[in-house]
């Protein structure tokens, strides 16, 4: 089955009607390869226009909870496979200290840890001076060896 992917940012424009026209274009493409199923996803269910949830549009809501500890550890493993980790990094420990975080948040945490490690190596801001990684309970400056 064909798959269409679009980011929400592609539908948000300052000019009224542009976002809606992009949605119509995407639906038209999906109709060309019918039958098809259109799925929309968001981490903020309170933000989309309620008109999207009318019958015939996105009329089903499926809540997907944030990943459990094992899921978080697997997500962290995926997002750190290209990052040189310090020997004492325990992704299981990181996963235990990040309950409620989504996959996107965990990916961002991994990226931030890598950037902080590089900055620290080059005399940048130490992790102790604030980062989302620090409040999660683990020191990102020691997380990777970049």
The string of pLDDT tens digits covering residues 71-127 is 999 999 999 898 887 777 888 988 998 899 999 899 988 888 888 777 777 444 343
- 140 to each of 13, 37, 44, 119, how far by Cα in Å? 36, 41, 27, 11
> What global pTM score does this model have?
0.62
Q: Is 116 exposed, middle or buried (0-12, 13-18, 19+ CB in 10 A)?
A: buried
Tell me: the pLDDT tens digits for 29-59? 888 998 887 777 776 777 777 777 777 777 7
Q: So where are the chain's domains?
A: 8-53, 69-142
Look at the domain 69-142 and name its fold: Helicase, Ruva Protein; domain 3 (1.10.8)
Tokens of 127: 């992790």
Angle between helices 69-80 and 103-121 (to 10 degrees): 50
């Amino acid at each position: 089955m064909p798959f269409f992917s679009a980011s929400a940012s592609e539908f948000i424009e300052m000019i009224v009607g542009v976002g809606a026209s992009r949605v119509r274009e995407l639906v038209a493409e999906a109709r060309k390869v019918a039958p098809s199923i259109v799925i929309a996803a968001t981490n903020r269910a309170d933000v989309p226009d309620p008109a999207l949830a009318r019958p015939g549009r996105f009329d089903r809501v499926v809540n997907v909870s944030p990943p459990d500890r094992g899921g978080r550890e697997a997500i962290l493993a995926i997002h750190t496979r290209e990052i040189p980790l310090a020997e004492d990094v325990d992704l299981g420990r990181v996963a235990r200290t990040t309950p409620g975080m989504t996959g996107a948040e965990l990916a961002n945490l991994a990226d931030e840890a890598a950037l902080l490690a590089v900055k620290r190596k080059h005399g940048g801001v130490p992790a102790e001076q604030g980062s989302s990684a620090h409040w999660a309970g683990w020191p990102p400056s020691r997380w990777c060896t970049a």
